[in-house]
Structure 1
Amino acid sequence: MAGSAALDVSRNGLVVRGGSRFLATGTDCSDDDSFFIYDCSKAERKPQEDKGEEGQTLYKGSDNILASTFSRSGNYFALTDDNKRLILFCTKPWKCLSIRTVVRRCTSLIFTATDEKILVADKSGDVYSFSVLAPCQGGKLELGHLSMLLDVAMSPDDRYILTADRDEKIRVSLFAAPHNIESFCLGHTEFVSRIFVVPNHPDLLLSTSGDCTLRLWEYKVGKELQCFHLNKLRNPEATPFEKNFAVSRITYCCQENCIAILCDCIPVIYIFQLEGTKKQLIYKQQLTFNHRVWDIAFEEMQGLWILQECREVPVLLYHLENGQWQDPLAWMIALAVSIRPHLII
């Protein structure tokens, strides 16, 4: 497994992707027939190459997958690739529903809670919405920033759309009228890498940044409630902003009110507990690995899935025991062995 890879998990589905391909399976991996493999390089309707003023080719997409996600129900899965395509799948059974063109290469995407739309954020700072119910319909421009968007999120009731950009800003807009800006969450001193609205505490937002902080917000009023310097957690003797690193994933378990943070370039996962009534984060645990960790994702009934750069055991599953997330169950080694022959990334 060369390069990098990523992981998406729903209540009964698991996707591992890398390069132009992904593998989907049920979380129990009971038999080989449950595997679905898709290769974007074999997809149809490739958009035209970018052209300069004199018609010369500027860039040709590589077919690599840039972003992907499940819908909240798990019934749909969507991805965008380097060839400016948005590809939509249904998952019961797995089937490609449509291949649509996006205007710019995308950085993030998310489904609305109702599964009716996909929101796609791109490098030019725009967010487009695409219909799920009309899978061949073109996109609609919803809003724009002056700088590249790095992440997009929705409130659980689909009332607010939240966008994070390279210029340190988090914008909160009304989804029904995105030109109406409800608030800004300002405080990060570098690009905002990830944002996440807490599903069971829908007035709270988590954000991370190149300034190496995790922040908790009341996003509707733009109020910062708490700030953790992640580099201080790793090295208590370090000063804030020393040896900064960005966060590549925030994942949350509603059942345990647990947050897991994955950082770029270091094989460490930070675990926090959210005290919802007090609106407070509590640092609980640090998980350290011998291999590079590519991605993580919570699944409510299973635990914390971990995708690592290890050919022998690429997929791990941690579970909660006595208040601590423990080493993977023994049977997960057998699961990883069953997945490995199908990992074509």
Structure 2
Amino acid sequence: MVMLAVCGNEAALGVGCVLLAVPLQEGTRRPFLYDCSTVERKPSDYKKEDGICEVQGSDRILTAAFSASGNYFALADDNKRLILFCTKPSWKCLSIRTLARRCSSLKITNSEDRILVADKSGDVYSFSIVEVQKNGELELGHLSMLLDVAVSPDDKYIITSDRDEKIRVSLLGAPHNIISFCLGHREFVSRILVLPTAGNLLLSSSGDSTLRLWKYEEGREVQCCDLTGCSPSTGDILEKKLAVSRIISCSPRNFVAVLCDSLPVIYMFRFDVTSEQLIHTQTISLEHRGLDIAFDASLGLWVLQEDRDKIITLYRFVEGHWQNVCEDEGLRKISTIFQKHLAHLQEHLGGESFYNDLYKNTFDDMATYLSKKRERQDQLKQRKRKHIGENKQSKILQTERTSSCL
């Protein structure tokens, strides 16, 4: 698992079990390196789950996120640990807490008082930031695997998406109170994002190759964008189902960037506030498969890609287009640091797609039903013909016996 998170001028890269935080601008702060494999494990962390013996995890980082101000950073690994850091004035680990299940997504509330953790069994737990050793509390549950969690800008609503095509909007203060469902996707809902410049609009993505814009308080769809129409006209992309692995936005210019799983392209949109519509502006073709993307404070688009020699690239909006920046001091510095600290973790840059296993198998039940129906009808006709033939034969024999008696 490889992830990239940027908040302000701080970048955090997770590769395998290692977290590396680097300042994007020149300063006195040094890179911060944290290895999850060095954390002491409790037997209860991995011994059993629902009474079934569980294989010990490999300490891989599954998901991570900055808080809105960048003061906090949280990550979860596959040994069911939630690790909280403060980032200012310097990086420091505040707590290590145990999760009930392996995490699929996490989000820090905008008030920065809680961490919301969505897991693969469909539950959301909240963990206090104020009381850093307090255990998590169950907030809500789905009947299907949760894939993403988001909150509204005012922390009034918690929004969750799952494998069963559902987006649920609930009150964060009383999660049992469901406000609406956003229904319309035909495959799992992989990512959700509340647009920061339009607090009542939610952007969602799915394995059905679409982006959808919602008035989430009403559960009403206002726009559907088919990503296959934005793709380069190459057969290997057009024939695939597109599953979005990351949606990010940049508030000052209302840019939205979309990265699809296992594809070397980034779809760039601009959100028009007046019409409340997404407008596709550019499709960026990458040299290698994109792994993650993030905006920085100066409108730079950082791209983590599957390239062992050039793990990270930078794009900037120049003359109306996003262009690859080669001569950039910050990029050279960060690339050097990444290569120095993460050279031994290059094998984690590849790997199979997580989303391939989320597609549900479909069966043509109607064709089977019609085939069996025709077989039953043919058998019924054969029995009727046989019955009619037997009746005719019986009448003939009866007539012959009557004639012989006369």
TM-score range with shorter-chain normalisation? Answer: over 0.9
Partner of 2:69 in structure 1? 73
Please state how far the C-alpha of 1:12 moved relative to its aligned partner.
2.3
Percent identical:
54
Partner of 1:334: 332
Cα distance change, pair 308–234 in 1 and its aligned pair in 2 (3 A) = same
Cα offset for 1:324? Answer: 1.2
State how 1:55-204 maps to structure 2 within 5 Å: 57-92=53-88, 93-204=90-201
Distance of aligned partners of 1:30 and 1:338 in 2 relative to their CA distance in 1, 3 Å threshold? farther
Q: Which has the larger radius of gyration?
A: 2
- What amino acid maps onto 2:198 in structure 1? H
Matched, 1:290 2:287: yes
Query: TM-score when scaled to structure 1?
Result: 0.93
CA contact (8 A) 1:247 1:263 kept: yes
C-alpha contact 2:210 2:224 (8 A) present in aligned 1: yes
Can you give the 5+ residue segments of structure 1 that lack an aligned partner in the other structure? Answer: none
Counterpart Cα distance in 2 of 1:24 and 1:249: 20
Which AA in structure 1 matches 2:244? V
The match for 1:311 is 308
Greater strand share, 1 or 2? 1
Give ranges in structure 2 of 5+ residues lacking alignment: 346-406
**C-alpha displacement of 1:313:** 2.3
1:57 positional shift: 3.1
Q: 1:29 to 1:293 in 2, by over 3 A?
A: farther
Match of 1:337, SS state, is: helix
| CA shift for structure 1 position 121 | 0.1
Contact 1:46–1:85 (Cα < 8 Å) also in 2: no
Distance 1:56 1:180 in 2: 33
Task: Tell which deviates more after alignment, 36-45 or 154-163.
Answer: 36-45
Q: CA deviation at 1:323?
A: 1.8
| CA 47–80 in structure 1, closer or farther in 2 if over 3 Å, else same | farther
**Counterpart contact for 1:8–1:297, Cα < 8 Å:** yes
SS at match of 1:178: coil
**1:333 Cα deviation (Å)?**
4.9
Q: Please give the alpha-carbon distance, in whole angstroms, between the structure 2 residues aligned to 1:205 and 1:51.
A: 37
- CA–CA distance in structure 1, aligned partners of residues 33 and 252 of structure 2: 31
Q: Is the 8 A contact 1:7 1:295 kept in 2?
A: yes
Residues 124-170 of structure 1 show CA distances to partners (whole Å, capped at 9, x for unaligned) of 10000000011100101110000010000000100000000000000
Query: Conserved in 1, the CA contact under 8 Å of 2:191 and 2:245?
Result: yes
Taking structure 2 as the reference length, what is the TM-score of the superposition?
0.80
| Distance (whole Å) between structure 2 residues aligned to residue 236 and residue 64 of structure 1 | 36
Change (3 A) 1:234 1:141: same
SS in 2 for 1:25: strand
Q: Which amino acid aligns with 1:142?
A: E
Distance 1:267 1:134 in 2: 42
The answer to whether the Cα contact below 8 Å between 1:47 and 1:85 also exists between their aligned partners in 2 is: no
Change (3 A) 1:18 1:247: same
- Aligned partner letter, 1:269: I
For each residue in 1:212-235, what CA deviation from the matched residue of structure 2 results, as whole angstroms up to 9, or x when unmatched? 111111111011111111122215
The structure whose residues are more often helix, as a share, is 2
Q: Structure 1: how far apart are the matches of 2:70 and 2:248? A: 16
Measured after TM superposition, the shift of residue 290 of structure 1 is 1.2
**Aligned 8 A contact 1:47 1:84 in 2:** no
Between the aligned partners of 1:323 and 1:115, the Cα distance in structure 2 is 36
Paired residues, number:
339
Give me the whole-angstrom Cα distance separating, in 1, the residues matched to 2:240 and 2:71. 41
Q: Secondary structure at the match of 2:175?
A: strand
Deviation by residue 1:87-124 (Cα, 9 ceiling, x = unmatched): 00000110000000010000000000011100000011
Quote the offset at 1:44 in angstroms: 2.5
